[in-house]
Chain A
Amino acid sequence: MFACLFVPEFPLQASILNVPTDAREVLRRSPLVLLDGPSSLLKVTSLNNAARSFGVKIGMTKLHVETCNGVLLRKRFATDEESAQEALLDCAAKFSPRVESTCPGTVILDLTGTTKLFGSLERMSCKIAVLARQRGFHLRIAVASNPDAALHAAQGFEGITIIPAGDEANRLASLDVRQLPATPEVHEVLDSWGIRTFRSLAALPPIALVERLGQEGLRLQDLAHGRINRPLLPVESVPDFVESYEFDDPVETLESLAFVLNRLLQEVCARLVSHSRATNELRLTLDLEVRQLQKSQEKEHYRHEWKLPVPTQDKNMLYVLVRLDLERHTFSAPIKRLTIEAISVKPRVAQGNLFAPPSPEAEKLEITLSRIRGVVGSNDAEGINCVGSPAILDTHRPNAFTVQSFSSVMEPQSVFAVVPAVALRVFRPVLETSVELTGKTPHFVRLWKRLRRVLAASGPWCSSGNWWDGTVWSHEEWDVAVKTFEGIGYYRIYLDRLKQQWFVAGVFD
């Protein structure tokens, strides 16, 4: 015998599964709809009976639903449904080792031999329902001699349904034919024929049906009779790639930590290899033994994660990465537990690009960058990435640049064609200065704390932009020649017109 657990309006139930029990029950009673689709056109994908009584229907747009005062709206998230399906499978697995994840919100259990453990089919069904209710599901359960009959009965009947073997056709007869797994075209034909129930489909002459719908028609008729017996496709457990070690005595030295780290990484990587997986994201968690008095000031955990440019199974490389990070840090309390988690992905199977410019291996590059970060830090005082290659920004704002992460893959970049005849050494940060004008032209400029006469000036070169946000700027630049101790120096100065302040931007070599 097989039992099917069916969660009506599964997306909606999944969306409130993680809500505290009391609040969840309030939500169940309230008119609640779940919206899905592109943000510009959200539509109702699931709803409860209370919402139906407000006139809401599947497929209505958010705009339409908002016109019904009092209806609560929630957005659909795939992760909610994934975790709810996990919970449902977990619930089913308490009663049978063979559980099929048929579709979201539906699982089928093979009950063969379980009655001795859990009692009669009715009692077992009740136990399943109670457990599911505790986990937050309101579901329907049907038991039948084959998986499909159980599935259709669960979808079609409320509460718990037990169908004795041989009575399937009779019990399923009143079900809606739209429950059958057929293409929309076949459903359209059945609908146009006025075939609404399993009974009316089962009653059609089989040969004439095959002449019209082919073997598909016959299969559907067998399903309507409840006489197809297919094998169950049980789910297999998915291994996790997490290893943890709790020290008997909290450790304070890197060597003790590194020893355990090496062993844990070895185990994680061996498991990745045995499952033909690799990782592109590694997470380290250290639980610190923070004393009671320190708790308010100190963190109890240290967490760090590495996003790798390519998936890897290389234990040594991972070890070096983690160790370099640990070397950079000092902890305020001894470490009592070490946890390593690898996020598994498919291993890299393609070769590197033959036409890509020569570059270090991605793994080696990552280690090198990590070493550099250890020396110079990750970001500078202004929050700009310190490790990477500089890139000029596409803007009229003078001297605008960013630092991009290194990449082993060369991306096409727009080439800024202007190749200046002379080099400008840019001051970062720019130097504040003062300027005396004759008319609108600079006459004296203060440089290195001394006022210097401007021998020649070219300008003004004006630029302004970003008027649409808070980074608006407006500069008036001059290129000036001034007399200095070393002879004539050529400088670029500018007036920030918004601050009404002069700056020296750089010197021409």
Chain B
Amino acid sequence: MQYVELHARSAFSFLEGASLPETLAQVCSSLNLPAMALLDRDGVYGAPRFHMAAKQHRIKAHVGAEFSITDSSRLPVLVESRLGYQNLCRLITTAKLRTKKKTVATSSLEEMCGHAEGLICLTGDESGPLANALLQGGISAGRDVLNKLVSVFGRENAYVELQRHSSRVQEARNQVSVELAKELHLPLLATNGVRYAMPAERQIADAFTCIREKRRLDTAGRLLSQNSQRHVRSTEEMERLFSDLPEAIANTSELSSRLDFTLEKLGYEFPRYPVPDDETIDSFLRKRTWDGARLRYQPVTQRVREQLEKELALIEKLHLGGYFLIVWDLIRFCHRNGILVQGRGSAANSAVCYSLGITAIDPIGMDLLFERFLSEERGEWPDIDLDLPSGDQRERVIQYVYERYGQRGAAMTANVNTYRGRSAAREMGKVLGFDEETLSRLSGIVGSWEWKDPDDTMERQFGHSGLDIRHPQIALYLDLCQRVQDLPRHLSQHSGGMVICQGQLDAVVPLEPATMPGRVVVQWDKDDCADLGLIKVDLLGLGMMAVLKDSIELIHDHYGEDIDLAHLPQDCPDVYETIRKADTIGMFQIESCAQMASLPRNNPIRFYDLVTQVALIRPGPIVGKMTNPYLNRRQGKERVSYPHALLIPVLERTLGVPLFQEQLLKMAMICSNFTGGEAEELRRALGSRRSQKRMKEIEAKLRAGMTANSFRKETQDEVVQFISSFALYGFPESHAASFALIAYASAFLKVRYLAGFTAALLNNWPMGFYHPATIVKDAQRHGLRVKPIDVTSSDWKCSLERDAEKIVVRVGLRYVRGLRQNEADILTQERLIRSFASIEDLSRRVPQLSKSDLAMLARIGALNNLSDGRLHRRDALWQVERAVRKNGPLLDGIEEQDTKSPLSQMSVEERLVSDFYGTGLTTGPHPMAYRRDDLRGMGIESAVDMKNLPDGKYATVAGCVITRQRPGTAKGLIFMTLEDETGTARVIVKPDFYENNRMAVLYERFVQVSGTVQNRDGVVNLIAKQIGPLAISKAETSSHDFH
């Protein structure tokens, strides 16, 4: 007699289960159980991971769920057939979609009546409907519930469940249940109501109970479990427990054999694209592709023709034509509605995608690998990511998908948020009843900088914070923190992944409402979707796309030129010259300090150099120590070499240094004889950060393959190092190419149309690396005139004006602190009717402007041009106070006789302070410019002069701190960027220097730094030896800090 556990919860019951599905499958396998059913609360959240793990352990993964029903109990339901699974998904979806977020979605038994086919119900444990009825109304109520379950699910599909956890109350209930089962001729079924894989995990379950109930362990009382018996039990144990009822054990294997459904038979089908009657999907796709190719490739060469034929044949063979047409349809929607869109990711490897307008990268011209996108051998689904302008336009595209495929035909993929260092530290501290101060200290010690010491273990962090880890309470806390790592905490929405299904998606996976109105989300994350063969389209919001679109419109309106991003002039020398000088503030992907520091060394002269540049400054290549060798080889300072002769064709393009994911896949295939499928598994393990364990397994496999191919130990280490460092993050080449295209476009627009680009950049902020104040100063240094906010000229957004034949930028009202768009729009509409005669007039005609709005406008000088420009800021402030104080109807409208204010004009410093306070930027001179003479007297170099200082010279620079960074890959170094009126200077702060000068490094707005100049290959840094505050201005300048 073989026992099968048919009622188990995983940690995907969110705080009601304590083990991952993988652990359950593993324990199940080690106890020789042939199958297990995972019944998570109101969903099948953990089912894909359980399914995959079960497949690995060669056990059968049954699917089911615990339904919250209207009598406050939980009804366990097992899926027998595909129809049953579809019914289960639909029932959960219906309940979830009608329930508000964070409240329990319940279904009634009546509602289940029409959707019970293919489902088998159990009577549940202490939270099940039978126990609930027995408690409320005794045996007769229990009998009624059983009859009801029989009427809904059928006599052969209702099992009376028995569990034995050494509890008197439970045993009393079991006795009644057995009697009722006999009376109603229902089969008995033994389960252990598993909530964790092993007894020791009961502690995690108790801790989760406390989090769920917002209690502490010492006040949770009987909410906690009575003992540790809800773990996975072996057949022998269960037989011993149910020795008096052997049929309850026998029924488990019998029922298991009835459960035919697994997630292999999901029945997912990508929607078919509607085509004209005389066309098939494939013929229609073929025509659209050739139409596009003729436009894109002029002329269509033999090579292009062959590549397209090859791709189309494969797409046809894999029945993916519909998918391409659906993405093409999305692209057309974007074009129709003037929404800028560009495909990225591996789609850029496909000439079909390029021809259909999905991507802007010509894979043939770039010589990209189509196999990275789609390969018959790997059996992998294609993954097309679309970059869209962030904000409303992206939302329009998402809503179009919902509209087109129905609320239940499309949904966003989920993100499973798991317990990580800080969240685990905080919540476990609460559970153990630590006070607020200790909690803050504990969660605070989990490092806040991106950089972490290699030995920065939790034990060490605790020790540093003065906590004695030998103390039993602290040791327990540390233990709990470590054990909850990676357990699911809650589900959130993925930033852009959408799943679409032929027919109804809610028959494939349950759907839930997302926090954002109008959105629904599936219960699986993107990896789960990929595991089960669901094809997704990523609709990602990219701020720079919105900037490009706005720039193009502004250029059209003010320069009278039309820009087509697909046909930008390539390899413009002035654009590359600017990039080479690292003059890249505001440019996509290449504006960060690290990018700027490597640009002169990489010395890009053509598009492919930008592609490598984008991929170069990533954690993957940096940690893998690939960045410096590449740059040295690029400069000819290092000989180009290869780990193994076999790898030359793979690494030739990047001078023997792997920079892209594709190269790593090929390396794995060549060195370790990985098949395409294994290489794909490797890629996903690297990209998903799912499990260290999975990585270790892959490493062992890699080494075994290389040993078989007689690779030397050193070469093996080198290859493994290359590959594993990409776990932190590496780009596929095609993705880098797509980004490089946007980077080039942004650079082109900035160099050629500075005014339009700057205005668009300011209008789409927050985005990018720098604060608007820095963007404005950078534009001014490049000769652009930026005019201040003025109620007589400014719109809500920053706009372009003509001034003496030059195009200048007028800062928009959106930068006025506290002013809302609605009020600003009314103001601009009133201005169109008639210009404002005075502040009194403005206040009267736009009563929506509050006193603080008017005062703020006056303070930043936006009202100076009222009254024919005779006002200064204090005059305006003086008048505003009177204008907003209502005199009553008798005196209302009487203008003040003497409008001249007794107040003196603001000083330069006061104007600076007001500008930064009211708008976050100044259009006047840089604060440092006012003190340049003094600074020169103090021996302080300007940023531009510093660039000419020789290596090793001791020098002092000063400026406003605009960025502080401590990258995870920089061994604790801090990079500061100082800005003055001439440009920016980079300062490097070493860890020991930082420890002694924390205040100045972290909190001062203006600093002077002395140290040694490091001038190598045109990259100039100052190694800080002394740092101190500099009394320049009290203006509240901002720094973009990534601590």
Contacts and interface: CB of A to CB of B under 8 A. Distances in A.
Q: Which among A39, A418, A465 has the greatest number of chain B C-beta atoms within 10 A?
A: A465
Contact of B224 (A195, A396, A418): A396
B306 interface: no
B195 to A, nearest CB: 15
B910 A205 contact: no
Nearest to A417: B135
Contact of A194 (B168, B203, B229, B903): B903
A30 B692 CA distance: 51
A55 interface: yes
B222 A394 contact: yes
A212 B881 contact: yes
A394 B221 contact: yes
B222 A396 contact: yes
B224 A39 contact: no
Contacts of B444: 63
Nearest to B472: A470
Interface stretch (A87-95, A123-131, A455-463): A455-463
Contacts of B206: 467
A463 B227 contact: yes
A283 to B, nearest CB: 31
Contacts of A189: 855, 877, 881
Interface string A459-488: 111111101111000001000000000000
Interface in A292-341: none
A210 to B, nearest CB: 10
Contact of A68 (B169, B855, B999): B999
Interface string A28-60: 000000000011110000000000000100000
Given A40-B439, A68-B999, A212-B882, A205 B902 contact: yes
A425 interface: no
A348 interface: no
B1003 A64 contact: yes
B998 A67 contact: yes
Contacts of A468: 203, 217-218, 432, 473, 476
Interface string B473-487: 100100000000000
A39 B435 contact: yes
A85 to B, nearest CB: 28
A193 B878 contact: yes
A203 interface: yes
A395 interface: yes
Interface string A348-379: 00000000000000000000000000000000
Contacts of A418: 169
A192 B224 contact: no
A40 B885 contact: no
A459 B227 CA distance: 14
B375 interface: no
A52 to B, nearest CB: 13
B859 interface: yes
Interface in B185-230: 203, 206, 217-218, 221-222, 224, 226-229
Interface string A189-233: 100111100000001110010011110000000000000000000
A235 interface: no
B825 interface: no
Main secondary structure of the interface of B (DSSP, over half): helix
A393 interface: yes
B70 interface: no
Contacts of A467: 203, 206
A67 B999 contact: yes
A193 B877 contact: yes
Interface in B147-197: 165-169
Given A212-B882, A394-B222, A396-B224, A460 B166 contact: yes
Assign chain B's interface to a size class.
35 or more
A55 B999 contact: yes
A409 B999 CA distance: 55
A63 B998 CA distance: 11
B885 A192 contact: no
Nearest to B859: A192
B885 to A, nearest CB: 6
B35 to A, nearest CB: 28
A189 B903 CA distance: 12
Contacts of B1003: 64
B291 interface: no
Contacts of B898: 208
B277 interface: no
A212 B885 contact: yes
B874 A461 contact: no
Nearest to A69: B996
A214 B604 CA distance: 66
Contact of B436 (A39, A204, A212, A459): A39
Interface centre among A192, A393, A395, by most B CB within 10 Å?
A192
Nearest to A465: B224
Contact of B906 (A194, A205, A393): A194
B892 interface: no
A41 B444 CA distance: 12
Contacts of B229: 462
B437 interface: yes
Interface string A375-396: 0000000000000000001111
A476 B228 CA distance: 12
A195 B904 CA distance: 9
Contacts of A192: 855, 858-859, 874, 877
A396 B224 CA distance: 8
Contacts of B473: 468-469
A194 B858 CA distance: 13
A40 B217 CA distance: 21
B443 to A, nearest CB: 10
B440 interface: yes
Contact of A461 (B168, B203, B472, B476): B168
B221 A395 contact: yes
A204 B881 contact: no
A204 to B, nearest CB: 6
B893 to A, nearest CB: 14
Given A64-B1003, A461-B167, A464-B228, A39 B437 contact: yes
Interface in A60-78: 63-64, 67-68
B228 A194 contact: no
B910 to A, nearest CB: 7
Nearest to B476: A468
A462 B227 contact: yes
A467 B904 CA distance: 72
Contacts of A459: 166
A193 B167 contact: no
B817 to A, nearest CB: 13
Nearest to B170: A461
A468 B434 CA distance: 13
A63 B1043 CA distance: 15
B436 A40 contact: yes
Contacts of B435: 39
30 contacts: A38-B436, A39-B436, A39-B437, A40-B436, A55-B1029, A64-B999, A189-B855, A189-B877, A189-B881, A192-B877, A193-B874, A194-B906, A203-B902, A208-B898, A211-B896, A212-B878, A212-B881, A212-B882, A213-B881, A393-B221, A394-B221, A396-B227, A459-B166, A463-B227, A464-B226, A464-B227, A468-B203, A468-B473, A469-B473, A470-B472
Interface of B: 165-169, 203, 206, 217-218, 221-222, 224, 226-229, 432, 435-437, 439-440, 444, 472-473, 476, 855, 858-859, 874, 877-878, 881-882, 885, 896, 898, 902-904, 906, 910, 998-1000, 1002-1003, 1029
Sorted from nearest, which 4 A-B pairs have the closest CB atoms?
A394-B221, A39-B437, A462-B166, A40-B436
Given A55-B1000, A465-B226, 10 more contacts: A55-B999, A68-B999, A192-B858, A193-B877, A193-B903, A194-B903, A214-B885, A394-B221, A463-B227, A476-B166
